[in-house]
Structure formats: structure tokens, C-alpha cells
Amino acid sequence: MAGLKGELQQLDVVTFGESMALMYAEGDGRGLGSGRELAQSFGGAESNLAIGLARLGCRCGWFSMLGDDPMGRGILKGIRGEGVDVSRAVKTKEAPTGLMLRESARGKLSVYYYRSGSAASRMTPELLDAEYIANAGILHITGITAALGSSCLDTVREAIRIAKQAGVRISFDPNLRLKLWTVEQARPIIQELAQSADYFLPGYDELGLIYDTDDEETLLANVRRLPGMTVIKSAGNENWLVQGGELHRRPFEHINWLVDPVGAGDGFAAGFLAGITKGLSPVEALKLGSIVGSLVVQEPGDWEALPLWSEVEAILNRTGHIER
């Protein structure tokens, strides 16, 4: 296995998890299996978030295991090219880079994973650089990594232990993927990881599955018992912040058009964590997350539509666009 270790640097956020090669049929039509040409990119919740943070002016690191193959090398080059530190990423010849296919057909979005036995699914606690994690302000983890297998879950737990020991705050997005595990498998593990989080970032629908209820008061009672704050995405047409027993609501931002909902949650999380690292209050960070999420859905792509800080700042300052 080949690592890319370099000089240790202070980072605002460190995250890790699987990034996969992405193949998709452009446009809305007959979708996959129809003989149409496929475009290629890459995607992964954690690398999406890392790119989003880098574009918002934060110092961010991402690592994983990738196949030492053309797709893995392309992913690494792409993430590094966005200004994300990838010095702790590892390439291996023993397993391939994961693959996902995506189609939009008859108005429905579908994703197909080919990640069983992938390089990232073989992550173990030995992959972790404790000093690298301890040097970050926030460690961001997701339920996707925990779902990839027992060794990956062990890696998540060890990363949390390292971060807690070093006083690094924990951000946790459950990113519940029912193609990776069942609700029954996911529920106790996600509840366990939520207990470790300073910032718990679920979607409203996810919360219903995590706590096995669709009653709003019961859901809020559950998150109010957590030690950290909870940021709830897409509660109706709002995003919510639950902090110290108080509920703060933020209506969705106005958008001119909806193009592609993929990546909105990762964009929101990047915006919220960027606000925290920039010293904003949690309520102000909630607003920033909402703005970033609203911009992401107006352009296609998993991470390509993530905005620059200058774009977000223009909205915050209500600076109009000058066409010519």
C-alpha cells in the first residue's frame, strides 16, 4: 500500500470515507442500459463535504483507501485539485476503487453501487494517523463508513476515541443508505455515534427511521437528550437547530430553479461546519448551511455545484449579480 504522508498541518476539519468512481447518463431519458454514452466523475459524502469546505475557505483534510487504478488515481487528483489535503489517503493494489452508477429516468433518480470488496471497505484502525486527527478542529464522520463493514465501523470508533482524547469536536451525519444496511442494523449504531457527536446532522426523514417514530415531539425529545447539538435538515420546508433544549427554525432559501437534488445535504453540512469554523454562532451557521444547500440544487453534479465563499458572501451581503 502506498501512502502520501507529508508535513503535518493544522486543519479546520478532517473527514474520511469512501469516494467512488461515478458513471451517469446525462440528461433525463431512458437511463442506464439503453446504449447511451456515460459521463464520468466521482462522488462520496465525505469528499463532497471536504470539497465544499475548501471552496468556502476552510482548511480541510480527507483520507480513505483507494484502488491503485485509473479511477482511484483520478479521484485523488480531483480532490487534491480542489484544495483538500489528501496526504493521509492510501492507494492499494489489493482491491479496486468502488463504482456507482446513477440514472435519472422518468423523473426518478436511482443509484447503483458496486462497492463490495472495494479498497475503502477494507479500512481498519491501522489506517488512522492519530496525530493528524488530533491536529484538527473538527472530525467529521458519517454512517456510510460505519455501514461498509465491521472493520470500517471499528475505524470510525477508533477515530472518535482519538478525537475525544485530543479535545477535537465530532460532527456526525448519519447519511442513512438502505442499500448498504437495514434500518434494524443501522439504528443502534447510529444512535451510538450520535451520542458521541458535538454536531449531529440528520435529515428529518432519517430521524424517523433512526428513532422508529414519525411523531415530531417524540423525535425532538430524543435529540434533546443527546449531549451535543442537533441540526435537522429538511423538516418540511425548513432546517432546524436543537441546542440546549431550544428549537431554532430556518426556512429554506429561495431558489430560482431546481436542477439536481444530489449533494444538497453534503453542501448544507459543509456550509454549517464552515460557519462553525469561521466563528459564527450555531444559528448563523444554520443560515450559512441553508444558503449553500440552496445553491447546490440549482446546478448538476454531486460536488461540482458547491459554491465558492465569494458566491455565498455575495448573498450574505445582498450583492447583486452584474451580468455585463
**Which residues are catalytic, by number?**
266
Count of residues in the chain: 324
Contact 124, 148 (CB under 8 A): no
Q: Count Cα atoms within 13 angstroms, Cβ side, for 161.
A: 9
Q: How many angstroms separate the CA atoms of 319 and 145, rounded?
A: 39
Residue 31 backbone zone (phi > 0: left; psi -120 to 50: alpha; other: beta):
left
- Print burial letters for 281-318: b (CB count within 10 Å at least 16), e (below 16): ebeebbbbbbbbbbbbbeebbbbebbbebebbeeeeee
Q: How many angstroms separate the CA atoms of 105 and 162, rounded?
A: 44
Taking the CA atoms of 227, 233, 235 and 237 in sequence, report the sign of the dihedral they define.
positive
Amino acid at 260: D
**Total Cβ atoms within 10 A of residue 31:** 19
Query: Which set of grid coordinates corresponds to residue 299?
Result: 446546478
Calculate ∠ Cα 245-242-295, nearest 5°: 165
Contact 191, 159 (CB under 8 A): no
